[in-house]
Every structure is written in structure tokens, then in C-alpha cells.
């Protein structure tokens, strides 16, 4: 089916470098697929090291003039970009739905959510204050200013094709950095549309550059930026192995890094919890984007005495979820992103069943009149999950809920922390003292307490342990794109 946009200009297929749209240096392109059908529907330029270098050259040239613009002027451009993103919500949502698969209503929500970061950092740009240190000795003035780190390379995943890139580019530009970006190979179109809107907003040439690359070509593009000493920061969201690769690759030029990596979020339901609220929270946190979010609950721990009641209430809600293509009426679970995703989900479910899990719901791929493509998986609940299962150790990144039992608060905390990851954690409880104890003990960058929807432009988003470091959003989010300079003036 052709992709009909109100503004066809938003459908881009070329790199944007130094203010011009251009084909790949090699002339190559790669296909973009619709996860709902599994069929390729368009193609975009496939970059290589030469394209990466052209982009970092442009970003480097644009850096000094951009850094010297006033914060107020940078904020004005960001506000214009924000308005254009919102004005093009319908088209951007269609692009997200087509290349990523999420339901159209969720895609619209992603546009609104991603845009809030652009607005937020427009507001933060003008408040990047420094300090004057009280006099320590006569005749000396000590002060602190915050400066842009320089050229930033942003590498983003496919699960939120608009929000992930917006929440990296917006703080970078607000701080006075210039950007080279590479979107995920599965979802380049939304990122290209977003950059086209930035061009319309009036950002100077070279301030934002974007290079697309296939899975094969991605290392050539990113390795060039890693080796380029003019690129002073890498900001990345994606898997932990790639994050570690980027950390190693940044070592030779000691770049600043923000790494938002994989999670393995625990979701704990204590015996004093409001079970209906806990089910609502789990439905919101788990099934957004079909379970393909890094803060998606991956291990659900339920206290013995409420285990059965919780499982029954949850099963009733999950059984009612409608699976199908994102653009069909009422669909809540779209297709998974690609064949690798389906393989991983199937492997986790089969492995759990082989290790004694009880299948309470789902447990297989879906093929019917509505969901006829190859990438649909049924919302699934597995009972009696245990720690020897793959889904305990790794993110499933799909619509699968494994239920683990626990008997005491200490055991729940121990099980929740028994992972190398620490991005998000959730728990439901009523007792105030318990809420403090559990919040303090969870090893996680983000904790949801009787709440399943956590992300906000006003809050710091990021992990601990092997979920990475750095924060996106909030006033802390600007710090990641700035360094601190101490000025010491004598002879006063």
C-alpha cells in the first residue's frame, strides 16, 4: 500500500549533510520494510565512511558559529522546530506506524512525547547558568561557565524512531553542540522527516547532519566517528553489547559518552498492593509498543498470597488485547520489528516452557485475517517462571509476561537486583515504610512506585550498572552535552 502523506516532502531518502540532501557517496541504498507485511516498501541512501566524514566535516565547520549564537536564538529555532513537529503530527505518526509497526494512536503519542523534549530543551537552553565562587583570596575572581562539548554523534534504535533522536538532538543543539546522527537501519524515515522539519525551522547548514546506513554499513559509519577526534561525544540508545563497543571505541580519543542500554526491568506486586492498580500499571508499562521498550517490565514478581488473584485479573485483560497492523482500527499490539525479534521471543518462550513454566495465555506467533504478516506474536503470560530461564537473564523485547512467585520483601528485592542491568524497576505496595525501604534498595536508575508510566521530558531518564550512564530529559539532560570550565582571574 502506498504511503500517502499530507506533505510528501516528508518522505526523504537521502542523507542531509552540510545543509544539502544528497545520495550516498557510493550511490548505494538499502530497503526499508513494513513490519506489518514484512515487505520492503522503499529504500534510503546507504552511507559509508566517506559519508560519515563529510557529515563530521560539516558539523565541525558549523560548530564555532553555532556555539557563538545566543542561547535565546538557539531556543527560538528549537521552538520553531517544536511547532513544525506538532503541525505535522499526522504525517509523522503515519511514518512511524509504517516503518516501526506500532499502532497509529501510539505513534501519535510518540510524536507528542518526542516534541516535548524539543520544547523542554528550548526552555533549558536559556537557563544553562554558571557560578561565581565566593572570593577565596583577595584580588582573585573564580567563576564557572558551562560550554558545549563540541560535535556530538547520536546513534539511535528503532523502537521510538522519533522520540529517541529528538531527545538527543534537542539538548545537543540547546547546549550549542552540532550533531551527526545515524538512525537505526529499520527506521530511518522518521528521523529523516524530523531533520527535514529542522531544516524548515531554519537551523544553519551543518548544525544537524544525518547519515543512514544498512546493518552491514553501520560499523563503517560509526567507526569513522569513533576515530575522529573532532567528535567529542557519543550519545547512544540500544543494546548493551553495542554500547560496550562504543565505549571501547571512544577510549582512544576519550570522548564523553551517554549510553542508554538494555534493561531487564522487575515489576513487583506486594501483598498489600491494590491489585487492580497493579494490573493497570503492568498493562501500560508492558504492552506499550508491543513490549519493545527498554523500560518494559521483563520479570513480574508476585507475592504468594496474591499470586493467583493477580494472574487471573491480568489474564482477563491480556486476553482482550487486539493484535494487528498498526493502522487498523482498535489495534493495541502491532507487529514486532523484524524476524530477529520474533526469533528471540519464540526462543524465550520455548526455553521457559522447557524449564517448567506454565502457559497461561498466548505462546505462539499469530497469523489470521487481520494479522497476516510474519512478525505478529500473541500477548503471552507464563506462570511459575524461574531464574534458570533465558527470560530471567535477558530482555525479551516482546509481549511476554513471565510471573515469578516470592514470599518475602527481602526475597523480592534480592530477585529484582539479581541482574547486571538497572534501567527501570516498578513496585506496587501500600505500606509507607515498605515503599521507602524498597525504593532505597532497588538498583535501578528509574523506579515506578504504584505507577507504570514513567517517561517524561521533565525527569532524568537513564540507567545504572550495565544499563549504561548519562541522563536524558530534565535539567540533568543538558549537562550531558556541556562541560564545566573554571575561570580564574587575577590582578583585581
Name the active-site residue from 99, 110, 124, 260.
260
| 462 lies in the binding site for ligand NAD (CB under 6 A) | no
How many angstroms separate the CA atoms of 462 and 484, rounded? 21
- Beta strands 141-148; 482-489: pairing state: antiparallel
| 294 lies in the binding site for ligand NAD (CB under 6 A) | yes
How many angstroms separate the CA atoms of 454 and 411, rounded? 25
Site string for ligand NAD, 199-218 (x = CB under 6 A): -------------------x
To ligand NAD, the closest distance from the beta carbon of 339 in angstroms equals: 12
Which range touches ligand NAD (CB under 6 A), out of 178-186, 267-275, 356-364, 382-390? 178-186
CB within 8 Å of 296: residues ≥ 6 apart:
263, 265, 285, 286, 288, 289, 395, 397
To ligand NAD, the closest distance from the beta carbon of 221 in angstroms equals: 8
Name the active-site residue from 97, 177, 212, 294.
294
To ligand NAD, the closest distance from the beta carbon of 237 in angstroms equals: 5
In the bound state, the residue with its beta carbon closest to ligand NAD is 238
| 104 lies in the binding site for ligand NAD (CB under 6 A) | no
Q: Which is nearer to ligand NAD, 87 or 251 (CB)?
A: 251
Told to judge if 260 belongs to the known catalytic residues of this protein, a careful annotator would answer yes
| Sheet architecture: strand order including 297-303 | 358-361, 380-383, 400-406, 297-303, 265-269, 424-428, 446-449
Among 46, 395, 472, 480, binds ligand NAD (CB under 6 A): 395
| 52 lies in the binding site for ligand NAD (CB under 6 A) | no
Restricting to residues 116-155, name those near ligand NAD by CB under 6 A: 155
Q: Which is nearer to ligand NAD, 24 or 413 (CB)?
A: 24
Q: Which is nearer to ligand NAD, 185 or 457 (CB)?
A: 185
How many angstroms separate the CA atoms of 431 and 414, rounded? 19
* Three-point CA angle 416, 290, 277, nearest 5°: 55
Closest CA to 52 of 226, 251, 238: 226
| 219 lies in the binding site for ligand NAD (CB under 6 A) | yes
To ligand NAD, the closest distance from the beta carbon of 46 in angstroms equals: 12
Q: Which is nearer to ligand NAD, 283 or 294 (CB)?
A: 294
**How many angstroms from the chain centroid is the CA of residue 392?**
22
Among 158, 225, 404, 426, binds ligand NAD (CB under 6 A): 158
To ligand NAD, the closest distance from the beta carbon of 243 in angstroms equals: 7
To ligand NAD, the closest distance from the beta carbon of 116 in angstroms equals: 17
Among 55, 122, 152, 242, binds ligand NAD (CB under 6 A): 242
| 245 lies in the binding site for ligand NAD (CB under 6 A) | yes
Cell (9 digits) for 63: 560548530
How many angstroms separate the CA atoms of 203 and 181, rounded? 15
| 397 lies in the binding site for ligand NAD (CB under 6 A) | yes
| 238 lies in the binding site for ligand NAD (CB under 6 A) | yes
How many angstroms separate the CA atoms of 235 and 213, rounded? 17
| 99 lies in the binding site for ligand NAD (CB under 6 A) | no
| 262 lies in the binding site for ligand NAD (CB under 6 A) | yes
Number of residues that bind ligand NAD (CB under 6 A): 22
Told to judge if 488 belongs to the known catalytic residues of this protein, a careful annotator would answer no
| Residue 46 near residue 213 (C-beta atoms within 8 A) | yes
Which range touches ligand NAD (CB under 6 A), out of 132-140, 177-185, 409-417, 454-462? 177-185
Restricting to residues 182-201, name those near ligand NAD by CB under 6 A: 182, 184-185
Among 222, 234, 345, 357, binds ligand NAD (CB under 6 A): 222
Closest CA to 325 of 290, 284, 282: 290
Q: Which is nearer to ligand NAD, 46 or 395 (CB)?
A: 395
Half-sphere exposure for 23 (CA within 13 Å, toward CB): 7
To ligand NAD, the closest distance from the beta carbon of 432 in angstroms equals: 32
How many angstroms separate the CA atoms of 240 and 16, rounded? 28
Q: Which stretches of the chain bind ligand NAD, using CB under 6 A?
A: 155-159, 182, 184-185, 218-219, 222, 237-239, 242, 245, 260-262, 294, 395, 397
Catalytic residues: 260, 294
Amino acid at each position: 500500500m502506498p504511503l500517502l502523506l499530507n506533505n510528501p516532502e516528508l518522505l526523504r531518502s537521502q542523507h542531509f549533510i552540510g545543509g544539502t540532501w544528497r545520495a550516498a557517496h557510493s550511490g548505494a541504498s538499502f530497503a526499508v520494510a513494513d513490519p506489518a507485511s514484512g515487505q520492503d516498501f522503499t529504500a534510503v541512501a546507504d552511507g559509508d565512511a566517506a559519508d560519515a566524514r563529510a557529515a563530521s566535516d560539516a558539523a565541525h565547520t558549523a560548530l564555532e558559529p553555532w556555539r557563538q549564537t545566543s542561547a535565546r536564538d538557539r531556543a527560538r529555532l528549537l521552538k520553531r522546530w517544536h511547532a513544525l513537529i506538532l503541525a505535522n503530527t499526522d504525517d509523522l505518526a503515519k511514518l512511524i506506524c509504517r516503518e516501526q509497526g506500532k499502532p497509529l494512536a501510539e505513534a501519535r503519542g510518540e510524536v507528542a512525547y518526542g516534541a516535548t523534549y524539543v520544547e523542554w530543551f528550548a526552555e533549558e537552553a536559556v537557563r544553562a547558568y554558571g557560578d561565581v565562587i565566593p572570593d577565596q583570596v583577595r584580588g582573585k575572581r573564580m567563576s564557572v561557565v558551562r560550554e558545549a562539548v563540541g560535535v556530538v554523534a547520536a546513534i539511535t534504535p528503532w523502537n521510538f524512531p522519533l522520540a529517541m533522536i529528538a531527545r538527543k538532538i534537542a539538548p545537543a543543539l540547546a547546549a550549542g553542540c552540532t550533531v551527526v546522527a545515524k538512525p537505526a537501519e529499520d527506521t530511518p524515515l522518521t528521523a529523516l522527516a524530523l531533520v527535514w522539519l529542522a531544516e524548515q525551522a531554519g537551523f544553519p547548514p551543518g548544525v544537524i547532519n544525518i547519515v543512514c546506513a544498512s546493518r552491514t554499513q553501520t560499523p563503517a559509519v560509526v567507526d569513522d566517528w569513533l576515530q575522529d577526534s573532532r567528535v567529542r561525544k557519543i550519545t547512544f540508545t540500544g543494546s548493551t553489547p553495542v554500547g560496550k563497543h562504543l565505549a571501547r571505541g571512544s577510549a582512544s580519543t576519550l570522548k564523553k559518552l551517554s549510553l542508554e542500554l538494555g534493561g531487564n526491568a522487575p515489576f513487583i506486586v506486594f501483598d498489600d498492593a491494590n491489585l487492580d492498580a497493579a494490573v493497570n500499571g503492568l498493562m501500560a508499562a508492558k504492552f506499550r509498543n508491543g513490549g519493545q521498550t527498554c523500560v518494559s517490565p521483563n520479570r513480574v514478581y508476585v507475592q504468594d498470597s496474591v499470586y493467583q488473584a493477580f494472574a487471573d485479573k491480568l489474564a482477563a485483560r491480556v486476553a482482550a488485547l487486539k493484535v494487528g497492523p498498526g493502522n487498523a482500527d482498535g489495534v493495541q499490539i502491532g507487529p514486532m520489528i523484524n524476524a530477529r525479534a520474533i526469533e528471540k521471543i519464540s526462543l524465550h518462550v520455548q526455553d521457559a516452557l522447557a524449564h517448567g513454566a506454565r502457559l497461561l495465555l498466548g505462546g505462539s506467533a499469530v497469523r489470521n485475517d487481520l494479522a497476516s504478516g510474519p512478525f505478529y506474536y500473541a500477548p503471552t503470560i507464563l506462570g511459575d517462571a524461574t531464574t534458570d530461564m533465558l527470560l530471567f537473564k535477558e530482555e525479551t523485547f516482546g509481549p511476554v509476561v513471565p510471573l515469578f512467585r516470592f514470599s518475602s520483601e527481602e526475597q523480592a528485592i534480592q530477585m529484582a537486583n539479581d541482574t547486571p542491568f538497572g534501567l527501570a524497576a516498578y513496585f506496587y505496595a501500600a505500606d509507607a515504610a515498605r515503599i521507602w525501604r524498597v525504593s532505597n534498595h532497588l538498583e535501578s536508575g528509574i523506579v515506578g512506585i504504584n505507577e507504570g508510566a514513567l517517561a517524561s521530558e521533565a525527569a532524568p531518564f537513564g540507567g545504572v550498572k550495565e544499563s549504561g550512564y548519562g541522563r536524558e530529559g530534565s535539567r540533568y539532560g543538558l549537562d550531558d552535552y556541556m562541560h564545566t570550565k573554571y575561570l580564574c582571574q587575577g590582578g583585581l
